[in-house]
Structure 1
């Protein structure tokens, strides 16, 4: 089986998570500067088999798209054109940043480590991917 790659897309940086080859476990991979994202993805896909992308879908509490969705739509178009053979799915990402921060607290990270926004983005991508896996397995 191929891996599933999740992206917590942001204007400045993007958190990335990936499954194992059996698509059972979601793990944080890295965070990259968004302007370097396609270079990273091309290199990663050259070395690993990726079955699909899961991209976080920011929503408001009333289930309407959040303002940041405007930034994501052009990214999704470019992602689809760059990797037309890899399907893209969306996953609700409400509360993932709060859940990521709580995960950092629960794991005992020091205050200065919790300020690492790149780590928050990577953990958020992992939560997005784990939520997607749970949704598809049920």
Structure 2
């Protein structure tokens, strides 16, 4: 098997996670930071990570409203998916509803300070997205 990258794309950050070779466990990699709406910068950083880790498949969180509708954030993710595919990546969109809320609760339960939570919340959301995808495959 190959490693898979998981992404939680925001407006100024992108959480990045990676699977193990067996496709069982997702782990945090980093939080990419970029200027508000500068998805070109984010794309370049994601592609550099993918190249460094020999990644061919990316699971990208798709934000949806609770009623299932895709809003502006979801459209941005779908556009980002196309741009990743234009650069040779195989991309799977994954429903990310409540992943950030779940990540926040996990960090609070672990008694992580507010300042530290802000630094890792996107990574943990990316881990949750990727782990949910991996669990669905196994």
Please report the TM-score for the alignment, with normalisation by the length of structure 1: 0.87
Structure 1 stretch displaced more, 58-67 or 4-13: 58-67
Q: What value does the CA root-mean-square deviation take over the aligned residues?
A: 1.6
Matched, 1:120 2:125: no
Classify the secondary structure of the residue corresponding to 1:50: coil
Aligned counterparts, 1:52-91, within 5 A: 52-82=57-87, 84=88, 86-91=89-94
Residue 101 of structure 1 and its aligned partner are, at CA, apart by: 0.4
The structure 1 segments of at least 4 consecutive aligned residues displaced by more than 4 Å after TM superposition are: none
Classify the secondary structure of the residue corresponding to 1:11: coil
Please report the TM-score for the alignment, with normalisation by the length of structure 2: 0.87
Residue 11 of structure 1 and its aligned partner are, at CA, apart by: 1.5
Classify the secondary structure of the residue corresponding to 1:69: helix
Q: How many residues in Structure 1 have an aligned counterpart in Structure 2?
A: 133
Matched, 1:8 2:8: yes
Residue 135 of structure 1 and its aligned partner are, at CA, apart by: 1.1
Query: 2 CA distance for matches of 1:64 and 1:49?
Result: 34
Deviations 1:45-100 (A, max 9, x none): 33222131100011111111133112223212211111x2x311011100011101
